[in-house]
Amino acid sequence: MKTLKVQDEIHEKLTTLVGELTAQSGKLQTYADALQQLLESSIVLPESLVKEIAEAIENRRAVGYTTVTDFVRDAVRRRLEETKTEEFYVNVPIPREEYELLNKAMEETGAAYKNADDYIRQHIRERVEEYRRYLETHKEHLQ
């Protein structure tokens, strides 16, 4: 058995993890168990990405998150939910300010759309239908 020196802050985090693992398993856990769990379930992210997430949390762009871990867990959870549905959505980046302004416009102008999502989806459906009609009328020329 080897001895390992750790900083007090790391010791506290390991102790917390040991407590969580003990609560989950119902059996007393050790630091070795905690370290093994960390090694088996860890995902390494590029430092630049972690820094970007931390800055978003600090600058309150990532509202509702207090740690990088919380943000990443939620992002993974959301992505898994997207892949479970029958419809697979494509993420199209839209500046938040424009998206929120479009939502406000839909609400305040009494537009025929419930919100920005409804507006965007309806316009996509209309263009797709228009394209289908185009294909039908031009199918002999397209072959």
pLDDT by residue (tens digit) across 35-83? 898 888 888 899 999 999 999 989 887 778 889 998 999 889 888 877 7
For residue range 11-32, list pLDDT tens digits in order: 998 899 899 999 999 999 988 8
**Cα–Cα separations (whole angstroms), residue 23 to 11, 70, 81, 82, 99:** 18, 20, 27, 30, 43
Question: Quick check: pTM over 0.85?
Answer: no
The rounded radius of gyration (Å) of the Cα atoms in the chain is 25
> Domain map of the chain by residue range?
1-42, 45-89, 92-143
Listing DSSP states for the chain in one string gives -------HHHHHHHHHHHHHHHHHHSS---HHHHHHHHHHH-----HHHHHHHHHHHHTTSSTT--SHHHHHHHHHHHHHHHHHSSSPPPP----HHHHHHHHHHHHHTT-SSSSHHHHHHHHHHHHHHHHHHHHHHHHHHH-
Nearest partner of 68 among 81, 82, 49, judged by Cα? 49
**Cβ atoms of residues 102 and 119 within 8 Å:** yes
Q: How confident is the model at residue 97 (pLDDT cuts 50, 70, 90)?
A: confident
Q: How many other CB atoms are there within 10 angstroms of residue 65's CB atom?
A: 19
Question: CB neighbours of 50 closer than 8 A, spacing ≥ 6?
Answer: 68
